């Protein structure tokens, strides 16, 4: 069992709440540099196929992430040079179980 | 779901002139990240934005003053520090931050910054070091590492670069730190400390310049540059700043180098000079009143000569 899975198990047993986040992307500000995708500790993002108004590919949430839930660390929010991504901390009940913990709202599209 | 991205409001939008966004900086440029860290630091401290001033010079980083929704100066080339000192001298209640690049602060404005540090002017300086003159097309700067390629050093740089933190520490800055744009949390904490501290605070931030510098030095991708920073940076506090040089493909120190206690600042002495008590005092008393200057320099040298043991910072983790 990987250490990450152990932690998940412990969290389940003791019903501890892990912080959860909901990711928002302001697509028209994105310049597609990929820093949020690369440095996300949970790797919840990937580059989308869509184009924004400037012709870049904004990030979007990976579908069906097994352990990949946004834990609201807000690293993407801080590292984004374009003020294009931010995270809202939400309660676990609001976003459902562990597996479907992350949610992404893409504006426009 | 929110239907339109224009309806979304970024948490930092309250400090930004959003009508000017997206900004001019290239994709992956570190300046935006550092501006984001500065705004997060302001937000964490809950400072009143009417009491904050951002002063910047010319260059890519100089554009930052145009994007913040607070009082800001976009000054002539290299003269951000004199503007900031004048502002702070007349309006001591303001929290003045100089946000500029290495070319502006250390090439054309080199003299101003060392004298501001010597006087211990009560301003914060955030210097974004991207190793070259980015806006004018990637020319050789005083901070370009040896052997690096730029448009004006096509066979590799033959000059040694400035060690900015060492220079600032010996000049008399009371707070000296260096971070890179991947160390966002520690950088934010450092900016918070500088904003709350009196005296001359200097923070150097190494930032990738994928378009002008990275392209010629095998770091075309901003992600690659940041990974390089993450691998090469050793996070340690109170290393002797004179040893913290940056050499190509070698590890370098990041962290807090100097953090001295509250000192008499330039503005304090300036206001002291105009006080009635000072003007009426006999000349011997006046000398005593000014002696804060000497204490400042002496303590400084002591710190540099007998630096405390370097301390490891944080756990293993991500190191950011």
> Is 50 exceeded by the pLDDT of residue A98?
no
Give the domain CATH number at B191: 3.40.50.970
CB contact under 8 A, A81 and B30: yes
- Report yes or no on A50 lying in a domain: yes
What share of chain B in percent tops pLDDT 70? 88
> Is 60 exceeded by the pLDDT of residue B131?
yes
- What is the ipTM metric for this complex? 0.81
B182 interfaces chain A, CB cutoff of 8 Å: yes
The total domain count for chain A is 1
Q: Predicted confidence band at B289 (pLDDT cuts at 50, 70, 90)?
A: confident
What tokens appear for A21 in the block?
């986040």
What tokens appear for B78 in the block?
């290299």
The total domain count for chain B is 1
- Report yes or no on B32 lying in a domain: yes
CA-based nearest distance A109→chain B, Å: 8
Do A2 and A24 contact (CB within 8 A), yes or no?
no
- Report yes or no on A12 lying in a domain: no
- Report yes or no on B77 lying in a domain: yes
Q: Predicted confidence band at B302 (pLDDT cuts at 50, 70, 90)?
A: low
pTM, full prediction: 0.87
- Report yes or no on B79 lying in a domain: yes
CB contact under 8 A, B185 and A80: no
Give the domain CATH number at A68: 3.30.70.20
Closest CA to B235 of B223, B244, B226: B244
Q: Which of B6, B16, B29 sits opposite A83 (nearest CB)?
A: B16
- Report yes or no on B255 lying in a domain: yes
Whole domain around residue A83: which residue ranges?
18-106
Name the packing angle between helices B80-90 and B266-273 (round to 10°). 50
Contacts with B, A 58-97, CB within 8 Å: 75, 77-84, 86
Q: What span, in angstroms and rounded, lies between the C-alpha atoms of B134 and B60? A: 7
- What residues of chain B lie within 8 A of the CB of A25, using their CB? 5
> Is 70 exceeded by the pLDDT of residue A95?
no
Whole domain around residue B145: which residue ranges?
12-265+307-311
């Amino acid at each position: 069992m990987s250490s990450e899975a152990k932690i998940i198990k412990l969290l389940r047993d003791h019903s501890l709440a892990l912080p959860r986040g909901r990711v928002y992307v302001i697509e028209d500000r994105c310049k597609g540099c990929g820093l949020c995708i690369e440095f996300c500790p949970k790797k919840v993002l990937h580059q989308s196929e869509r184009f924004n108004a400037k012709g870049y590919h904004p990030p979007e949430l990976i579908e069906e992430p097994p352990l990949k839930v946004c834990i609201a660390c807000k690293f993407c929010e801080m590292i984004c040079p374009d003020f294009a991504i931010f995270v809202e901390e939400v309660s676990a009940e609001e976003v459902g179980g562990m597996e479907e913990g992350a949610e992404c709202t893409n504006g426009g599209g | 779901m929110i239907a339109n991205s224009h309806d979304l409001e970024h948490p930092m939008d309250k400090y930004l002139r959003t009508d000017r966004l997206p900004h001019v900086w290239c994709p992956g440029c570190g300046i935006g990240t550092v501006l984001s860290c500065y705004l997060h630091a302001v937000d964490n401290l809950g400072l009143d934005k009417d009491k904050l001033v951002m002063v910047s010079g010319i260059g890519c980083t100089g554009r930052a003053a145009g994007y913040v929704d607070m009082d800001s100066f976009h000054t002539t080339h290299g003269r951000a520090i004199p503007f900031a000192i004048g502002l702070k001298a007349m309006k001591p209640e303001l929290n003045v931050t100089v946000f500029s690049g290495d070319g502006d602060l250390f090439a054309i404005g080199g003299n101003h910054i060392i004298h501001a540090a010597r006087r211990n002017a009560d301003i914060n300086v955030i210097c974004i070091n991207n190793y070259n003159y980015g806006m004018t097309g990637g020319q050789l700067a005083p901070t370009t590492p040896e052997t690096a390629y730029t448009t004006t050093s096509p066979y590799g740089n033959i000059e040694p670069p400035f060690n900015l933190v060492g220079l600032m520490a010996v000049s008399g800055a009371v707070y000296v730190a260096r971070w890179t744009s991947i160390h966002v949390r520690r950088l934010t904490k450092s900016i918070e400390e500088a904003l709350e501290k009196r005296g001359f605070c200097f923070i150097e931030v190494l930032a990738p310049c994928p378009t002008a510098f990275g392209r010629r030095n095998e770091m075309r991708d901003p992600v690659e540059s940041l990974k390089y920073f993450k691998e090469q940076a050793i996070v340690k506090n109170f290393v002797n700043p004179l040893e913290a040089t940056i050499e190509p493909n070698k590890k370098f120190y990041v962290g807090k180098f100097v953090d001295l206690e509250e000192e008499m600042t330039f503005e304090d002495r300036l206001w002291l000079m105009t006080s009635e008590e000072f003007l009426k005092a006999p000349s011997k008393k006046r000398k005593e009143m000014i002696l804060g200057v000497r204490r400042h320099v002496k303590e400084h040298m002591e710190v540099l000569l007998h630096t405390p043991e370097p301390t490891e910072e944080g756990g293993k983790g991500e190191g950011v």
